[in-house]
Amino acid sequence: MRQVTPLTEGWILRHPDGTGDALPASVPGCVHTDLLAAGLIPDPFLGRNETEVAWVGRREWTYETELTAGAGPHEQTDLVFDGLDTVAEILLDGRPLGRTRNMHRSYRFDVTGLSGRLTVRFASAYAEAEAVRGRLGERPGAYAEPYQYLRKMACSFGWDWGPTLVTAGIWRPVRLERWSTARIARVRPLVTVEDGVGQIELAVDVERSRVEAPLTLEASAGGVRARARIDGTAGTVRLRVPDVRLWWPRGYGEQPLYDVELTLSHGDEALDAWRRRTGFRTVELDTSADAHGTGFTLVVNGERLFARGVNWIPDDVFPSRITRERYRHRLEQAAGAGVDLVRVWGGGIYEDEDFYDACDELGLLVWQDFPFACAAYPEEQPLRGEVEAEARENVVRLMPHPSLVLWNGNNENLWGFRDWDWEQGLAGDSWGEGYYLGVLPRVVAELDPTRPYTAGSPWSGSWRHHPNDPAHGTHHSWEVWNRADYADYRRDVPRFVAEFGWQAPPAHATLRRALPGEDPAPDSPGMLHHQKAEDGNGKLERGLARHFAVPEGDFDRWHYLTQVNQARAVAAGVEHWRSHWPVCAGTVVWQLNDCWPVTSWAAIDGDGREKPLYHELRRLYADRLLTVRADGDGLVVAAVNQSAEDWRGTLRLRRMSVDGAPIAEAAPALDAGGRTVAVVEVPVELLPDGPGEFLVADADGVRAWHFPAPDREIPYPRPEFEVALAPDGITVTARTLVRDLLLQADRLDPGARADRGLVTLLPGEEVTIGVRGWKTPDPDTARSALYCVEPTR
């Protein structure tokens, strides 16, 4: 049987010119984390230290260890790297074993009988990228850094939410594999289901050391076994599993997973084994034309879905630090917010198996971008061959995962070609179209025909329509935030909104940790350094001024209001678009997570703390949602029912004054069938008359509010409420209208977490807020951490 020996110990790191002492190195890891561990660089996440470590990405680095492949009972020994970041030369006792130039691939070298000093010498990613640019010519991109010239995580060169920390290192595991006669080189599992019968076709490639040896394959899953012979270096074994239980997205059913085992044998001797878990389900992408344009609807097991999604970026700018437990926790946070789809964005990486395993278990659908983002990518060598090789490897690697439902060619590059002044400047040079409309769909069709492919996000389906046409395919809504108010989300109904969002700063405790010694202000040095978006603070200020009186010199108030504005902005979009199902078939919020402490669009900040947006997503992505929207000169209440059960009952509508006095009330019937949206007209006598009135709608514990004016025009009463301790939290009782009450639990203790975010209370109503990690509960301290909307002075 193949023997595996991890190579995790005894590594050192040095600069290849011999200057400086050798440092202990962690493998997997990267240069930055090793320098941090040795105390040779400051934490780049703190203050403005990022600029002080910029030199690291400009230098060459060498990893070394002693390797003993040695003689033994096995015929061959391979040195296997699961990931090298990025341009490297591998040597054994000075003898070259090979060169690499792609972070997204694995590499294997025959070291049979060899021993000696193993050296992995990394070139500067900058030097390599600039050399490729010099040979192939300039290509436009959203940022000045040369990330499109090599196959590396693009956002390590910085983004509008991320630091510029250009990494190098052995970022995924490395090992020795010893084997004899033959080994399993690749398994391509095609998993389908039809009429309750699951079918698994395992296409197996083998590598042989003895050509003449007869080989057999034996596979099992769900209590079923099958055998096949290997002729040459390839074979196929098929399993038919009767009465399989279907794998469903969360909220639609359970997530049964089946163990699949494959053994390669020579006679009675087992030579190698392959084991994975998979699930049985069907997936389609309906892009048919209709009266509204061109659709984009995911269909799983025949069920048409409104996708409740979030965009995922690498959870750490140093991805080797992301553990299985960290993946699981972050994805559990996503599931806890009602999310059922996670889009792995194209400026990052193909994530580790642990990510997809967690999605399989949690019922989170995965939309996987190929790693291309916001730039024109050359299609000549050396890039073209690397692109196809990485695509082939990763498509096959991720095929077992039932959570993976969509391959996407790129992020915003088709749009960029049309709208970002690329076309004229390129003057006919290649820019990536051949990847997205040629290489990648060909690879997916050949290797993974069980899953749909789309050429890009956004993409209208063909050049006959603008790439970002909201009526066709996927749409990115960035006029809002960049130039327009979030009320403009309600102007149209895209078929599928794959990106939209609004910024807010991270939690108070996150800022305090990230900006040591600084008294933060919107424009303080550290705050500005941790704001990477172009004119980010200006957009925050303008967006705030449309709704609130912007506080002058009161950072705590500014911090609270910008977080309120973020939650309200995303709510405006999701409520509107969900209410127009099935024309709109999904929203993917930009973004779930951060890779460091920063002002950004994330719902969970760089220290893992939930912003108010996170808790708002739990309301917005719940199976049942009420929202009030304009309809001509009047209003309607849309009851969104994404559960399978009918939602029937009474809708309580109340027109009220902001001083708490009821003006009029009605109780129309509510009847929303499963997976449908019901619309109820608001009677004329319940329409609010001016900024001093509002409408509230209630049904079965679900509530919607409609205030007809921005907050700065509403004559709110001064909020009055009482605070009392409750078991594991506090209870707040309102004496007046209290709008967008928020307990910032991290102000009580950096480790404290609240179980809810913004809540609006009518006079006499109360809410209990659970708090974990609060060491010394006290009602007065709790009151100091409570914020709400106040009347304009």
Give phi and psi for 545, each to the nearest 5: -65, -25
What are the angstrom distances between the C-alpha of 751 and each of 265, 518, 536, 778? 53, 21, 29, 16
CB 497 within 8 A of CB 577: yes
- The band of 70, judged by pLDDT with boundaries at 50, 70 and 90, is low
- Which residue in 483, 457, 596 sits closest to 165, CA to CA? 596
Q: Which of 27, 21, 57 is nearest to 39 (CA)?
A: 21
pLDDT at 315: 98
* Residue 137 DSSP class: -
Angle, helix 555-578 to helix 536-545, in steps of 10 degrees: 80
Across 549-572, average pLDDT: 96
| 742: its two tokens | 């928020």
Grade residue 30 by pLDDT with cuts at 50, 70 and 90.
very high
pLDDT of residue 792: 83
**For residue 591, how far is the Cα from the chain centroid?**
7
pLDDT tens digits for range 438-453: 999 999 999 999 999 9
Provide the mean pLDDT of the chain: 96
User: 696-723 b/e with 16+ CB inside 10 Å = b?
Assistant: bbebeebebebbbeebeebebbebebeb
* Maximal CA-CA distance, the chain: 90
What is the pLDDT at residue 68?
86
Q: How far apart are CA 669 and CA 649, in angstroms?
A: 6
pLDDT in tens, 611-640: 999 999 999 999 999 999 999 999 999 999
Q: 69 falls in which pLDDT band (50, 70, 90)?
A: confident
Amino acid letter, 122:
F
Given a contact cutoff of 8 angstroms between Cβ atoms, the answer to whether 363 and 248 are in contact is: yes
Cβ contact 180:208 at 8 Å: no
pLDDT bracket for residue 71 (50, 70, 90): low
pLDDT digits (tens, 9 = 90+) for 254-272: 999 999 999 999 999 999 9
Cis, peptide link before residue 470, omega less than 30° from 0:
no
CB 761 within 8 A of CB 721: yes
Q: Could you tell me if 500 and 451 are in contact, meaning their C-beta atoms sit under 8 angstroms apart?
A: no
Share of the chain above pLDDT 90, in %: 97
23-24 and 95-101 beta bridge pairing: unpaired
**If you average pLDDT over residues 16-33, what whole number do you get?**
87
The mean pLDDT value for 329-347 works out to 98
The per-residue pLDDT for range 192-236, each reduced to its tens digit, is: 999 999 999 999 999 999 778 899 999 999 999 999 999 899 999
Tokens of 469: 């046409």
CA 627 to chain centre: 27
Q: What percent of the chain has pLDDT over 70?
A: 99
CA nearest neighbour of 530 among 155, 48, 57: 48
C-beta separation of 47 from 529 below 8 A: yes
Tens digits of residue pLDDT in 106-157:
999 999 999 999 999 999 999 999 999 999 999 999 999 999 999 999 999 9
What the block records as the tokens of 234 is: 């390839």
For residue 440, give the amino acid letter: L
d(CA 125, CA 147) in angstroms, rounded, equals: 9
Contacts of 110 (CB under 8 A, 6+ apart): 76, 77, 78, 79
Q: What are the chain's domains?
A: 3-177 (2.60.120.260), 181-278 (2.60.40.10), 285-617 (3.20.20.80), 624-713 (2.60.40.10), 721-787 (no CATH)
The torsion defined by the Cα of 334, 336, 338 and 343, in degrees rounded to 10, comes to 10
Residue 334: the pLDDT is 98
SS3 136: helix
Sign (positive/negative) of CA torsion 528, 529, 535, 540?
negative
Q: Give 277-345 as a DSSP string.
A: EE-B--EEEE--EETTEE--EEEETTEE--EEEEEE--SSSSGGG--HHHHHHHHHHHHHTT--EEEE-
Asked if residue 604 lies in contact with residue 590, where contact means CB atoms within 8 angstroms, the answer is no
Which pLDDT does position 190 carry in this prediction?
Answer: 98
Residue bearing tokens 């609807």? 297
pLDDT (tens digit, 9 = 90+) per residue, 465-505? Answer: 999 999 999 999 999 999 999 999 999 999 999 999 999 99
β-strands 365-369, 258-266 pairing: unpaired
Tell me the pLDDT tens digit for each residue of 759-781. Answer: 999 999 999 999 999 999 999 99
Concatenate the DSSP letters of all residues of 776-793 into one string. S--HHHHHHTEE------
Q: What is the pLDDT of residue 20?
A: 67
Q: What are the residues facing 616 on neighbouring strands?
A: none
Instruction: Name the E strands within 42-167.
Output: 61-68, 76-81, 87-92, 95-101, 107-110, 115-122
Q: How many other C-beta atoms are found inside a 10 Å radius of the C-beta of residue 352?
A: 19
